[in-house]
Amino acid sequence: DTAVSQTPKYLVTQMGNDKSIKCEQNLGHDTMYWYKQDSKKFLKIMFSYNNKELIINETVPNRFSPKSPDKAHLNLHINSLELGDSAVYFCASSQELAGQLNSPLHFGNGTRLTVT
Amino acid sequence: ELKVEQNPLFLSMQEGKNYTIYCNYSTTSDRLYWYRQDPGKSLESLFVLLSNGAVKQEGRLMASLDTKARLSTLHITAAVHDLSATYFCAVQGGNQFYFGTGTSLTVIP
């Protein structure tokens, strides 16, 4: 009955490879997100996506591309991986409520990406 | 871009002591959230503060929000070892959530 699940939990790969991380939520939420957490635990929004639009953070390299086949899934594809991409990537979801209010974020367990 | 700052970044405190973590943010918002992250784990929602003067309490933790000062506090009362974790505040801007730098709390027996 996991609310937000992401796979894989660990991902070790070499520079230059292409990889994907999958995320699914069964909460019926409208909005999903990808966050990157670096080694200093700083959390940075990468993308948010809801039924209406994909919001792209301009500081995210275009090697990163989110793909959402439906509102319960938001996958993250990364091309030409670099050493600096090593981090923990968290998927999250929230529900849009009345008055532009969102419920708290519900996070997945994270994917620890290591690029060698 | 909305900026969120927390202090201190690191906090080491003895069991039984009280302390406060501060969260300042740069633009107007009346929606603030506190999260807890245990090492190697995901983030867990602790509090949702939705209006000026809001105060929420759960066990030894109490959170408050002053939207005029753009400040939220997380007060720890009589700390116990189980509270050791990293605490994040997050401010909602539009439908995005902007996180503070986190406060890594270690409670020493």
Asked if residue A71 has pLDDT above 70, the reply is yes
Residue B88's contacts (CB-CB under 8 Å, 6 or more residues apart) are A43, B6, B34, B35, B36, B37, B43, B99, B100, B102, B103
Residue A40's contacts (CB-CB under 8 Å, 6 or more residues apart) are none
Quick one: closest CA in B to A110, which residue? B42
Tell me the average pLDDT across A78-103: 87
Residue A56: what pLDDT? 75
Q: Cβ distance B98 to B2 under 8 Å?
A: yes
Residue B94: what pLDDT? 76
d(CA B106, CA B86): 9
Q: Cβ distance A33 to A104 under 8 Å?
A: no
- Which residues of chain A make contact with B94, given a CB cutoff of 8 A? 100
Of A102, A43, A30, nearest to A70 by C-alpha is A30
Determine contact: A66 vs chain B, CB below 8 A: no
Are B43 and A105 an interchain contact pair (Cβ–Cβ within 8 Å)?
Answer: yes
pLDDT bin (cut points 50, 70, 90) of residue A109 is very high
Q: What is the mean pLDDT of chain A?
A: 91
- Which residues of chain B make contact with A42, given a CB cutoff of 8 A? 99, 101-102
Please give the residue that has the higher pLDDT: either A49 or A86.
A86
The dihedral region occupied by B89, where left means phi > 0, alpha psi between -120 and 50, and beta the remainder, is beta
Are B104 and A41 an interchain contact pair (Cβ–Cβ within 8 Å)?
Answer: yes
Asked if residue A101 has pLDDT above 70, the reply is no
Determine contact: B106 vs chain A, CB below 8 A: no
Tokens of B90: 């997050």
Q: Which residues of chain B fall short of a pLDDT of 70?
A: none
Residue A1: what pLDDT? 65
Summarised one tens digit per residue, pLDDT across range B56-76 is 999 999 999 999 999 999 999
Please give the residue that has the higher pLDDT: either A102 or B49.
B49
Are B33 and A105 an interchain contact pair (Cβ–Cβ within 8 Å)?
Answer: yes
Sign, Cα dihedral of A34, A37, A43, A44: negative
Please give the residue that has the higher pLDDT: either A95 or A113.
A113
Q: How many CB atoms lie within 10 A of CB A113?
A: 21
Residue A52: what pLDDT? 66
Residue entry with tokens 């809001």: B54
Asked if residue A98 has pLDDT above 80, the reply is no
Query: How much of chain A exceeds pLDDT 90, in percent?
Result: 72
Summarised one tens digit per residue, pLDDT across range A11-54 is 999 999 999 999 999 999 988 999 999 999 999 999 988 876 88
d(CA B1, CA A59): 11
Nearest CB to B86 within list A41, A55, A107? A41
- Which residues of chain B make contact with A109, given a CB cutoff of 8 A? 41-42
